[in-house]
């Protein structure tokens, strides 16, 4: 299954086509705008237009187009924040291998992917790989396209001025057969030296009509149905708020909220039922989901404390505030090696007496 289709950004797409037709497409472009609205997807669309073999570009059916949508076109190199490679002397091959693996995960989710975590970045080895590949001839067609997603995460310096300068030089004057597309939702955090070398195009969130078209598209729908989202089109459009890519984190958030509510409800039960809920929090591999649940639980408890207080229930408000403190403590421990099941079981006691 290829990545979900692109919707919206119509006027930008017309503008880009005009630039291509008149031979005035800049060599380095920055797509900036809110997270999740499809900037990297738009960059992939532009890559498709640039490599398509037919007159009606992008045709979507030629080998080049299909290769871009399957994320395996040899001349379209898509990089984005990744965990630091364990080998300090990682080579271009290591970088490419890591990205191929990550992209096949993105492909499995039809092009939906979670926000990069705090420790993920575009490290120097990746920047050097771009510089190296840009100096080579295209492998399949006549052009090479480099897409750098979340470009504000490019690591500025790791003791190599030379590498940083090589990238800046590439941005400033890419080879005639090379286009570099950066995307950023925090363009203000971009290195000024990078920002000054790209032509910036501001992207807007999708209009509701475009969002409806997206959630109804059969390919997008298959991907969304796998995400534990509400089923109604209108509900999905409302949740996305113009950012189709955000539906993945919305889904993760709503399941975290549901898990938090369940734990809170279990605290007022007794016996087997009470601890059965704690045991549903997996012991391994589910730390991310567990952390999300704790964060939601904290929000939930603060809401309960406030409503108890405004209802004059000081005892209930106190219980909720005390429970929130216990959750905050658990959050600090959750990053360590403590089992989510044990933490959940301990929290059940701390949650007792919180008003419903
Ligand atoms: Zn094509």
Average pLDDT (106-119) is 84
Average pLDDT (281-297) is 73
Average pLDDT (78-91) is 90
Q: Which residues pair with 77 in a beta bridge?
A: 146
Cα of 25 vs centre of ligand 1, distance in Å, is: 19
Domain borders along the chain are: 10-205, 207-242, 245-350
Overall fold of domain 10-205:
Rossmann fold (3.40.50)
Cα of 44 vs centre of ligand 1, distance in Å, is: 13
Average pLDDT (260-276) is 83
Tokens of 109: 């989710």
DSSP 32: E
- In this predicted structure, what is the pLDDT of residue 119? 79
The full 3-state SS of 292-332, as one line of letters, equals HHHHHHHHHHHHHHHHHHHCCCHHHHHHHHHHHHHHHHHHH
Orientation of helix 208-216 relative to helix 233-240, angle to 10°: 130
Write the pLDDT tens digit of every residue in 145-180.
999 999 999 987 555 677 778 899 999 999 999 999
- In this predicted structure, what is the pLDDT of residue 209? 96
CB 1 within 8 A of CB 219: yes
Cα of 130 vs centre of ligand 1, distance in Å, is: 24
Cα of 243 vs centre of ligand 1, distance in Å, is: 26
Cα of 58 vs centre of ligand 1, distance in Å, is: 5
More confident residue, 258 or 284: 258
- In this predicted structure, what is the pLDDT of residue 207? 97
Write the pLDDT tens digit of every residue in 35-63.
999 999 999 999 999 999 999 999 999 99
Tokens of 122: 């575009």
- In this predicted structure, what is the pLDDT of residue 284? 46
| Dist CA 204 CA 148 (whole Å) | 19
- In this predicted structure, what is the pLDDT of residue 140? 92
- In this predicted structure, what is the pLDDT of residue 129? 94
């Amino acid at each position: 299954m290829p990545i979900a289709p692109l919707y919206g950004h119509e006027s930008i797409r017309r503008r880009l086509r005009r630039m291509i037709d008149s031979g005035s497409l800049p060599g380095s472009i920055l797509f900036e705008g809110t997270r999740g609205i499809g900037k990297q997807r738009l960059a992939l669309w532009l890559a498709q237009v640039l490599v398509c073999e037919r007159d009606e570009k992008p045709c979507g059916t030629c080998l080049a187009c299909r290769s871009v949508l399957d994320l395996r076109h040899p001349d379209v190199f898509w990089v984005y924040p990744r965990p630091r490679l364990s080998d300090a002397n990682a080579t271009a091959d290591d970088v490419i291998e890591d990205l191929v693996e990550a992209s096949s995960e993105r492909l499995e989710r039809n092009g939906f992917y979670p926000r990069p975590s705090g420790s993920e970045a575009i490290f120097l080895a990746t920047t050097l790989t771009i510089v190296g590949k840009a100096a080579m001839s295209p492998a399949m067609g006549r052009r090479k396209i480099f897409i750098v997603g979340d470009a504000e995460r490019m690591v500025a310096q790791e003791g190599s001025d030379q590498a940083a300068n090589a990238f800046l030089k590439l941005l400033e004057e890419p080879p005639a057969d090379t286009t570099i597309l950066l995307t950023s939702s925090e363009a203000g955090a971009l290195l000024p030296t990078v920002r000054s070398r790209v032509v910036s195009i501001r992207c807007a969130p999708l209009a509701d009509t475009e969002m409806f078209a997206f959630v109804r598209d059969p390919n997008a729908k298959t991907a969304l149905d796998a995400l534990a989202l509400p089923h109604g089109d209108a509900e999905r459009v409302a949740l996305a708020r113009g950012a189709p890519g955000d539906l993945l984190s919305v889904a993760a958030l709503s399941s975290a909220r549901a898990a938090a509510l369940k734990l809170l409800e279990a605290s007022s039960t007794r016996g087997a039922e009470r601890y059965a809920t704690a045991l549903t929090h997996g012991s391994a591999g589910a730390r991310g989901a567990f952390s999300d649940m704790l964060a939601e639980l904290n929000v939930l408890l603060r809401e309960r404390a406030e409503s108890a207080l405004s209802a004059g229930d000081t005892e209930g408000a106190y219980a909720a505030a005390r429970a929130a403190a216990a959750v905050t403590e658990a959050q600090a421990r959750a990053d360590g090696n403590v089992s989510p099941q044990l933490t959940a079981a301990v929290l059940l006691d701390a949650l007792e007496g919180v008003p419903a």
